[in-house]
Each structure stands twice: as structure tokens, then as C-alpha cells.
Amino acid sequence: MFVSILGRVSLVVTALLVLGIWRVIGFETLHQALRDWRPRIRSVLPVTIALAPVLIVNKLARQSLVTISQEYGLRVGDLFYEIEGGFILVFEVIWSPATTHYFSFIYIYGYAFLLVFPIVMYFTLRDTTTLRRLLGAYALNYAIGVTLYVVFHAFGPRQYLGGEIETMLYQVQPNVQYLTREINHYTNVFPSLHTSLSATVMLFAIESRSEFPAWTPVAIVLAVSVWLSTMYLGIHWAIDVLAGLILAVVCVDLSHRLIGRFDVDRRLESVYDWIASIRGRIGA
């Protein structure tokens, strides 16, 4: 079932990527960037190396981190419920099958597209600073977010308001839980990484609006839709969303301060030369 759902997500996101390349980037522009891929890859390699361990740890040690949070984390779920109560039930006012399917689509497919497309888009720029900063912000979001998941142990609104929420994702698309179970845990609610990462993309889109003007309004609409979807579907508290927005601002600011400040590429020059020499020997 998981493979089937993942395959469906991959197909839909791929179709959205093709549409985005056609309308925002241009196939010729992407083709030219791919022909000149070596310096681009070389430039983003250091920050990619920093991002990879964060994702790997999040995947392989997720259950261990959840266990640590259950044992030692601050239990704030009841506090959130006491502060916020049934605020997200306000979305029941706009409930309809079409609205629920829209937010379900955004939460799964739109979110994945929103994270992947900017990587492709900024790859086409000769100056890789924006791409490196975006990947750096992704790494910071995950590193800080996962740390906060360990520190704060909380259940989302579904555990408190489940019977009152008619818009819950799994009631509309029950098979999706096989996918979400593999990539997240139901106690990972504060902050909302869906919110922080989508807000991160939006901030970069606004910053790069002169290079890709068609992308900015699309990114804003998708990002805001993601924030709303997390509450409409009963997955996150509004407090989680607010924390996610703050986390996005912090991570974007840190990525701008850190990326470009240290010439990591020059420090790796000897490593690149060593790899090149090995390739030359293999070719000989």
C-alpha cells in the first residue's frame, strides 16, 4: 500500500513539475543549465552534504527520538488545548467535499511540489547563492524542528477534537495514512514543519521575484493553502502553525547569514582534485 501511495504522489508531483518548468522556467533554460551542471553541483555540494545527515537521522532515528520525547519531553498538548480550545473548528464553517479534497490535495501533493520545484528553478541560475541558501534553510528547518519535537511532546487536535472534526484528512483519504506514517509521527506537531518549510519557500519566492515573477504568486497561494490545510484537516493547532512561521523566518535569516560567509568550496578544493585524479586513473 505504501509503495502504491508513494507512486501516485510521485506521478502527480512529476506532472506538476513539468507544468511548472513549462510556465515558470522554460525547457530551454533548464536544458542549458543541465549542460553546465558540473560547477552548479560542485557549488551546492557542501550544503547538500549538510542537509543529507539531517534527513537520514530524521528517517532512521525517528522512532528513537519519539521514545526520548515520550520519556523526557515537556508535555504541552493539554496546555495547547487549554489555550486554543476548539479554535480550528471554525473551519467547519467552510466545510464542503470540494474544500476538503482541495486541502487534502494541497497537504500531500501541493506541499511536495512546493518543496521540490524551487530546487529545480534555482538550479537554473548561474549564481548558486539562492539555491545554496534554500537548501541551507531546509536543513535548518529540519534540524531545529526535529529537536523541538523531542523537547516538546504533544498530540495534535485529532486526539482532542476527533469526533467534532468532520474535515480530517484520513476520513477523506484513508490510504494516505500509510504514507504519513512513514514520514512523520502523530506527536510531531510543535512546530508545524509543513508550515515552516512552505513559508521558507514563500520567503525565497518573494526575494527572487525579479528572476521568476510568475512563481511568486503561485508560491504564496500554495504556502498559505498549506498553512490552512494543516488546521482544516485537524492535523495541527494554530499554535503549531504560528511556531512554524517563526521558525521559517529564523531559518531563512540564518541561511542568509551563514551561506556565502564561509568559502567552503575553496576548503574542499583538495577533495575535488583528489576525486578528479581518481577519475583520471579509472579512465586510463
pLDDT at 272: 44
Mean pLDDT (the chain) is 81
95-107 pLDDT tens trace: 777 888 898 889 9
Question: Which has the closest alpha carbon to 26: 211, 193, 226?
Answer: 211
| pLDDT at residue 3 tops 90 | no
Q: pLDDT band for position 253 (50/70/90)?
A: very high
Number of C-beta neighbours around residue 195 at 10 A: 27
Give the mean pLDDT of 134-143. 92
CA 40-42-46 angle, 5° bins: 115
Residue 128 CA, chain-centre distance (Å), reads 20
pLDDT at 280: 57
**Which cell is 239 given?**
499554535
Percentage helix, strand, coil for the chain under 3-state DSSP, each rounded to 5: 80, 0, 20
pLDDT at 87: 82
Give the mean pLDDT of 258-267. 60
| pLDDT at residue 185 tops 50 | yes
Question: 54-68, 206-220, 259-273: which has the highest mean pLDDT?
Answer: 206-220
